[in-house]
Amino acid sequence: MPVDTKIEGFKIRLAEEKDVPVILYFIKELAAYENLQNEVNATEEILRDSLFVRKMAEAIICDYKGEPVGFALYFYNFSTFLGKPGIYLEDLFIKPEMRGKGFGKIILSFLAKLTVERNCGRLEWWCLDWNEPSLKFYRHIGAKSMDAFTVFRLDDTALTDLADEFGE
């Protein structure tokens, strides 16, 4: 059920299985914006399984005047210090020609409200350090950068090699 927002014609709705093609489209558009197109391995089948069968994450679709113009994908994380879950925003994308209209702030406001309603302690996300427009916007809305932390990642062979160390 679409939710009306403060901007006339701009609605937010929880993604449904029929939205998988548009979610993948927005993921690819985000990857192009971040110059990471070669890193997209997601397919409609993978997304359908992850989002709607296994329910590992959730997504929202943002429509303006009946057309999809953006999306956000998020999932739960957990803070041991708070003893509560949080919501981690994996991706937020708005079509370039639709930016600057206030949609991003409304999306983050929607996610903040969802975070509060679900009794979560935090809403968190990453931002590429070169993305100055986004960094400026996030600081403007009161988000704090966590500069004292370094992100680590295991994937591909490093992940499987370490998993193999555990044995059977």
- Give the active site residues: 138
DSSP 8-state code for residue 7: S
Q: Which two tokens stand for residue 99?
A: 């930016």
Q: Are 69 and 95 in contact (CB under 8 A)?
A: yes
> Rounded CA gap, 117 and 83, in Å?
16
The total of other beta-carbon atoms located within 10 Å of residue 113's CB is 12
60 three-class SS: strand
The candidate with the shortest Cα–Cα distance to 12, out of 88, 101, 102, 107, is 107
**Which residue has 């879950």 as its token pair?**
85
Edge-to-edge, what's the strand order for the sheet holding 3-4?
3-4, 10-14, 58-64, 67-79, 84-94, 123-125
